[in-house]
Amino acid sequence: ETGVTQTPRHLVMGMTNKKSLKCEQHLGHNAMYWYKQSAKKPLELMFVYSLEERVENNSVPSRFSPECPNSSHLFLHLHTLQPEDSALYLCASSQDTGYFTDTQYFGPGTRLTVL
Amino acid sequence: AQTVTQSQPEMSVQEAETVTLSCTYDTSESDYYLFWYKQPPSRQMILVIRQEAYKQQNATENRFSVNFQKAAKSFSLKISDSQLGDAAMYFCAYRSSAITSGTYKYIFGTGTRLKVLA
């Protein structure tokens, strides 16, 4: 379970704060993902990066800004969030984004609370 | 747009018994892939089993097997000889063909919480 790590594990922030979530994968994968997991809602894919290039942005508000400096690290920069953004944010990685190589390996998540 | 529906928010099974979790999906694509993921309490989500839509044979992984009905757009998960460690949230997921659609889509259902009773 140490293949994908996320920090911090818990974060409480005000609506005017700026914070960042960090994800690191130690699996030698080329693709990384951000998901949002809200109670009683489907897991939502937010961003997909393949070889540090953004592949997909599923209409995520601009107050969420991803950054992928290299294939091992993925950040989610947060600013001016709303209370409804409170959720568990999951990072995942996969070998690539092709079908046979995109099995998702998930991190433990960051529990975000926006006050 | 593709959707994934898990109509059972919660299910219970007696240890050593068999349980089936339901999943239906909607798509106009003919080529796609389906998955079941498991998220144990306070632990990381992991892949349980995967199925290619072009394969008629149902996938099997040890005690886990699927019943894939393409025409009915149904993809249920059967857990045999249930164990206490099977207690978790189970998510059904759909993945479109990124190459043909030009858009990467990985769509999850809302999950089914499975309780295993000793």
Chain B: residue nearest A47 by CA?
A: B104
Question: How far, in Å, CA of B107 to CA of A48, rounded?
Answer: 13
Chain B residues inside the 8 Å CB shell of A44 = 108
- Which chain A residue's Cα is nearest to B97? A99
In the predicted structure, residue B7 carries a pLDDT above the cut 50: yes
Residue B101's pLDDT band (boundaries 50, 70, 90)? Answer: very low
Residues from chain B that touch A91, judged by Cβ atoms under 8 A, are none
Structure tokens given for A85: 């953004």
What is the predicted pLDDT for the residue at B31? 84
**A19-28, A44-53, B94-103: which has the minimum mean pLDDT?**
B94-103
Give one word for B56, left, alpha or beta, with left for phi > 0 and alpha for psi -120 to 50: alpha
Give the type of residue at B58: N
Select from A36, A99, A111 the residue whose CB has the most chain B CBs within 10 Å, as the one to mutate to test that interface: A99
Chain A: nearest CA to B16, how far in angstroms? 27
Other Cβ atoms within 10 Å of B10 Cβ, number: 10
Q: For an interface test with A, which of B5, B29, B44, B48 has the most A Cβ atoms less than 10 Å from its Cβ?
A: B44
Q: What is the mean pLDDT of residues A97-113?
A: 86
Contact A45 B106 (CB under 8 A): yes
Identity of the residue in A48, A104, A109 whose CB atom sits nearest the CB atom of B47 = A104
Could you read off the pLDDT of B45-87 as tens digits, one per residue?
899 999 988 888 999 999 999 999 999 999 999 999 999 999 9
pLDDT at A54: 84
Is residue A27 within 8 Å of A5, Cβ to Cβ? Answer: no
